[in-house]
Amino acid sequence: MEVCQRRFQRRWIVKDDAEMDHNFLRNRVREIRENRLMTQAQLARKAKVALRTIHSVEKGMNCRMDTKRKILLALGLRFEDKEYVFPSVGAVSEFGNNPTHNPLS
């Protein structure tokens, strides 16, 4: 069970693990950034976005497509690899937890 506070609200929300897994798809930005031995600040500088943006994206917040493109390019990936880094509901059900196409290999 996880307790979290929504950003602009003062009430606490309790979510169970099943609800978190179903509604919350974690992206792979942090995993890839750490594999490349980059700090959040280095990635932000290279992607030309704010450090706060990288922090939010790694926490699972949604971002604009242009921001995703900048992050992908800064990580040395192609825009076509966005489904690997930023999985959508269809991609997760199609690939499961281990996508067949791994741009990192």
pLDDT (0 to 100) of residue 26: 82
Residue 21 domain flag: no
The neighbouring-strand residues paired with 14 are 3
Phi, then psi, of 11 in degrees rounded to 5: -100, 150
Residue 17 domain flag: no
- Statement: residue 72 has pLDDT above 70: yes
Q: Which two tokens stand for residue 41?
A: 């600040």
pLDDT (0 to 100) of residue 83: 93
Residue 11 domain flag: no
Residue 5 domain flag: no
Q: Where are the beta strands (DSSP E) in the chain?
A: 2-5, 12-15
Distances (CA, A) of 11 to 2, 14, 23, 24, 41: 14, 10, 20, 20, 32
Segments forming the whole domain that contains residue 77: 26-95
Phi, then psi, of 84 in degrees rounded to 5: -75, -40
* CATH number of the domain that residue 56 is part of: 1.10.260.40
Residue-wise pLDDT for 14-63, tens only, equals 444 444 444 456 899 999 999 999 999 999 999 999 999 999 999 999 99
Indicate the number of domains in the chain.
1
Better pLDDT: 20 or 105: 105
Residue 49 domain flag: yes
Residue 6 domain flag: no
- The pTM score is 0.66
Instruction: Give the residue from 71, 23, 26 showing the smallest Cα distance to 47.
Output: 71
Rounded to whole angstroms, the maximal C-alpha distance in the chain is 44
